[in-house]
């Protein structure tokens, strides 16, 4: 089997390199034409013309081919501007420093370096251009023939005008691109801010939903009171805090008397109405730190941290009397209910959650054995 051929993907040449290649090619070609007009008839030998062809017609293409293959073509192209100044200095020295050719070459390279590198480009040009002229004088001797005929002078004026106009157009294009890029970035920034705001809103909604789910997981769906799972974790925590701070803690365990008869006689909806009325009473009597929960079926529990036993007994008695005086309307009926309540308190009745609940449950069943509708310790 023959090996597959893989195409080599060449990186795209940066815009600055391509633009400078075009500008350099056209400008150097115009300089060659001006030098050719000035040098015709002066008896220049083949070596002179070979040098001019090399500098003005071959150098731009060779420089571009070299630059595009480098790791950082843009940085290399900015260095090439110094080389341009050196070669132009050599060229004007070789032709004898004609004023208009020298002026056009110096102003052209000075403008290009300044547009690309600012004051650094000015300094580099003012060093590189005379340096190139010095090299030209050392290689071919010093010649000073400043005069140019009117055709050469006009060609320099026209060529320099066209070059500076093109340079201005390039600067304008670059500014336009920067403006469009900045506007696009501003649009993207606004879009990102909107997405960020939406993300924050979504996260806030997710947090609220998670909080609602946690709350729902800890609440009895019918009464809205806390459920037994929440009580188990809260009782341990509150008991530990009361032990640490030296406070008392009371549990009131509540059972609705003859609740099964209510369901059997009037239906579960009637039973639910009684459960809801008792839940509302418990919620209204609970302090900020108390925990009212549905313990199971018709049983409820009120956890009261820092509550002395005597105060818990008074609170339980008040609840029993309030429920005893309550009439629950259900259709054509007026339902009534009574409570049996058992109380246990830390530290007198136990030091653990299991002990306290067991003692409260024992007291509750004592209340039932003694005739219901009563509070027992």
Catalytic residues: 298
Structure tokens at 15: 């815009």
**Concatenated DSSP letters of 336-364:** ---EEEEEEEETTT-SSHHHHHHHHHHHH
d(C-alpha 245, C-alpha 242), whole Å: 5
- In which region does residue 43 sit, left (phi positive, over 0), alpha (psi from -120 to 50) or beta (all else)? left
Contact in structure between 309 and 257 (CB atoms under 8 Å): no
d(C-alpha 267, C-alpha 219), whole Å: 24
| C-alpha distances in Å from residue 228, one per residue of 96, 201, 244, 277, 291 | 105, 34, 24, 19, 11
Residues paired with 64 in a beta bridge = none
Between 259-266 and 268-285, two packed helices, what is the crossing angle to 10 degrees?
A: 140
What phi, psi does 314 have (nearest 5°)? -65, -40
Residues paired with 292 in a beta bridge = 302
Contact in structure between 302 and 249 (CB atoms under 8 Å): no
Name 43's Cβ contacts closer than 8 Å, sequence gap at least 6: none
d(C-alpha 316, C-alpha 308), whole Å: 12
Contact in structure between 67 and 14 (CB atoms under 8 Å): no
> Is the torsion defined by CA of 296, 299, 304, 305 positive or negative?
negative
What phi, psi does 207 have (nearest 5°)? -60, -40
Taking alpha carbons only, the member of 228, 349, 214, 218 closest to residue 299 is 228
d(C-alpha 328, C-alpha 278), whole Å: 10
Beta strand pairing status for 328-330 and 333-335? antiparallel
Contact in structure between 253 and 247 (CB atoms under 8 Å): no
């Amino acid at each position: 089997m023959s090996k597959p051929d893989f195409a080599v993907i060449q990186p795209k040449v940066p815009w600055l390199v391509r633009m400078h290649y075009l500008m350099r090619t056209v400008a150097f070609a115009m300089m060659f034409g001006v030098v050719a007009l000035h040098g015709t008839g002066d008896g220049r030998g083949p070596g002179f013309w070979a040098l001019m062809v090399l500098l003005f017609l071959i150098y731009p293409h060779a420089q571009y081919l070299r630059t595009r293959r480098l790791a950082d073509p843009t940085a290399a192209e900015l260095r090439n501007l110094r080389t341009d100044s050196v070669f132009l200095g050599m060229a004007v020295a070789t032709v004898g420093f004609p004023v208009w050719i020298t002026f056009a070459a110096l102003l052209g390279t000075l403008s290009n370096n300044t547009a690309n590198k600012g004051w650094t480009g000015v300094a580099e040009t003012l060093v590189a251009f005379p340096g190139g002229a010095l090299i030209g004088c050392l290689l071919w001797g010093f010649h000073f023939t400043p005069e140019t005929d009117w055709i050469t002078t006009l060609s320099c004026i026209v060529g320099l005008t066209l070059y500076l106009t093109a340079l201005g157009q390039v600067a304008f294009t670059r500014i336009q691109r920067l403006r469009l890029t900045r506007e696009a970035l501003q649009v993207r920034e606004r879009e990102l801010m909107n997405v960020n705001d939406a993300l924050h809103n979504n996260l806030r909604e997710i947090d609220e939903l998670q909080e609602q789910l946690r709350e729902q997981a800890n609440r009895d769906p019918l009464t809205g009171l806390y459920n037994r799972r929440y009580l188990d974790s809260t009782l341990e925590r509150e008991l530990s805090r009361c032990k640490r701070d030296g406070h008392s803690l009371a549990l009131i365990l509540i059972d609705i008397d003859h609740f099964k008869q209510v369901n059997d006689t009037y239906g579960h909806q009637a039973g639910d109405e009684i459960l809801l009325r008792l839940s509302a009473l418990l919620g209204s009597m609970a302090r900020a730190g108390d925990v009212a929960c549905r313990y199971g079926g018709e049983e409820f529990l009120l956890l009261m941290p820092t509550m002395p036993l005597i105060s818990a007994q008074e609170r339980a008695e008040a609840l029993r009397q309030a429920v005893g005086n309550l009439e629950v309307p259900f259709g054509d009926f007026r339902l009534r209910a009574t409570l049996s309540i058992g109380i246990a308190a830390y530290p007198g009745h136990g030091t653990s959650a299991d002990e306290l609940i067991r003692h409260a449950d024992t007291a509750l069943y004592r209340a039932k054995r003694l005739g219901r509708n009563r509070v027992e310790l």
